[in-house]
Amino acid sequence: MKKILSIALLLALMVSLLAGCSSGAATTAAPAATTAAPAAGETTAAPAAGDAGIYALIVKNTGNPYNEKEAEGFTKAVEEFGGKVIVKRPANPTAEDQIAMINELVSQKVSAIAIAANDVDALQPACEKAAAAGIKVISLDSALNPASRLTHVQQADPVAIGRVLVEAAFDMAGGSGEFAILSATSTATNQNTWIANMEKLLKEDAKYKDLKLVKTAYGDDLRDKSVSETEALLQTYPDLKVIVAPTTVGIAAAAKVVTDKGLVGKVKVTGLGLPSEMAAYMTADGACPYMFLWNPIDIGYLAGFTAKAMVEGATGALGDKIAAGALGSREVVTATSGDGGTEVVLGDPFKFDTANIGEWSKVY
């Protein structure tokens, strides 16, 4: 009897050891690859453990340093919560290129799409198609119309942006004289909103009665065209005192032209710029005394978590709470643009000058 019991115990022990070896092999095996090679104009990042869906970002155009920083933040956010990232970069800053990309993403059955819109209205049919397929669509930086989005991620209050840009032009012009605006595309909703707020302030506030806006030019967020438009402004308006460029591509182009033509001191440049690109022009004797922006990495990061909230059941309604990772909590509010939709706001515009540009140019 004792012999039989010993044999039984030995067999049980062997079975247990074999089961333990089998279990260990299963948990340490490498997972199968799930990420396909990126297509032209597209980059992807593999999901972390516990896939939370596929999140796509469509920026305005390829080769745009500001957009690349937004993409960096968006990718960081999605990877933090375990999703897969697709970033699409149109060859041209046009609605047509973005529409084609939206349709591609519908075919890929992504969970959400965040778009920096090249046109406020033209993308609506494609966005409605995406929504009908169950894809959550939001905009960031440059808004879609409310019918095309659940909500918008706003970098700063558009009224505040318009105000600081007018005040900068007033300050640099000495309170009077001519200034011009060098914008992105003529259909860019963010720039158009800021410019509209600038024009409203110039018209309504007597403080600025001697400050004259002579022209708004469009460089289409392309370096060469922005250079050409700056040169044309300087030739057409020889008494121009200030160029305000509410676009990172435009302000860098304008500062370079003013510097290359030896006009530093006669014509001043300000607007919205990337510190890393503008540091060379923001010295004691540089073309740009100061400028404004926010952190585009944070805009992309906030957009990633906003898209996640929509996928998880938020609708972009007033009062919706967005858990935004390292940025903390944000609340969906009425769009400050007055377009009838909602938005999630990152914060106020930040001033960069000669005292802090060196520090910030190392960040972005």
Three-state SS letters, 205-258: CHHHCCEEEEEEEECCCCHHHHHHHHHHHHHHCCCEEEEEECCHHHHHHHHHHH
Please state the domain extents for the chain: 42-155+296-352, 158-293
pLDDT over 50 at 46, yes or no: no
- DSSP H helices, 261-295, are 275-278
The predicted-structure confidence for 136-147, as pLDDT tens digits, reads as follows: 999 999 999 999
Indicate the residue type of 191: Q
* Confidence at residue 23, expressed as pLDDT on a 0 to 100 scale: 29
Give 348's pLDDT tier (boundaries 50, 70, 90).
confident
The predicted-structure confidence for 155-174, as pLDDT tens digits, reads as follows: 999 999 999 999 999 999 99
* Maximal CA-CA distance, the chain: 112
Cβ distance 87 to 178 under 8 Å? Answer: no
pLDDT over 80 at 217, yes or no: yes
The predicted-structure confidence for 74-115, as pLDDT tens digits, reads as follows: 999 999 999 999 999 999 999 999 999 999 999 999 999 999
CB-count exposure of residue 150 (10 Å: 0-12, 13-18, 19+): buried
Mean pLDDT, residues 287-309: 97
Mean pLDDT, residues 194-218: 98
pLDDT over 90 at 50, yes or no: no
* Confidence at residue 44, expressed as pLDDT on a 0 to 100 scale: 63
Q: Distance between CA atoms of 247 and 142, rounded to whole angstroms? A: 12
Angle at which helix 248-260 crosses helix 65-80, to 10 degrees, equals 150
Mean pLDDT, residues 19-30: 28
pLDDT over 60 at 2, yes or no: no
- Determine what percent of the chain is predicted with pLDDT higher than 70: 86
Mean pLDDT, residues 59-64: 94
Give 41's pLDDT tier (boundaries 50, 70, 90).
low
Which of 264, 123, 253 has the alpha carbon at shortest distance from 188?
Answer: 123
CA 251 to chain centre: 17
Mean pLDDT, residues 7-33: 30
Regarding predicted confidence, which is higher, 318 or 52? Answer: 318
Which CATH topology does 42-155+296-352 take? Rossmann fold (3.40.50)
Q: Which of 33-37, 184-188, 301-305 has the lowest mean pLDDT?
A: 33-37
* Confidence at residue 309, expressed as pLDDT on a 0 to 100 scale: 98
- What is the three-class DSSP state of 137? strand
Mean pLDDT, residues 333-346: 95
Give yes or no on whether 42-155+296-352 and 158-293 have one common fold. Answer: yes
* Confidence at residue 85, expressed as pLDDT on a 0 to 100 scale: 98
Give 52's pLDDT tier (boundaries 50, 70, 90).
confident
pLDDT over 50 at 12, yes or no: no
Cβ distance 152 to 342 under 8 Å? Answer: yes
Give 33's pLDDT tier (boundaries 50, 70, 90).
very low
pLDDT mean across residues, the chain: 88
pLDDT over 60 at 6, yes or no: no
Which CATH topology does 158-293 take? Rossmann fold (3.40.50)
* Confidence at residue 264, expressed as pLDDT on a 0 to 100 scale: 98
Give 24's pLDDT tier (boundaries 50, 70, 90).
very low
* Confidence at residue 181, expressed as pLDDT on a 0 to 100 scale: 98
pLDDT over 50 at 25, yes or no: no
* Confidence at residue 39, expressed as pLDDT on a 0 to 100 scale: 39
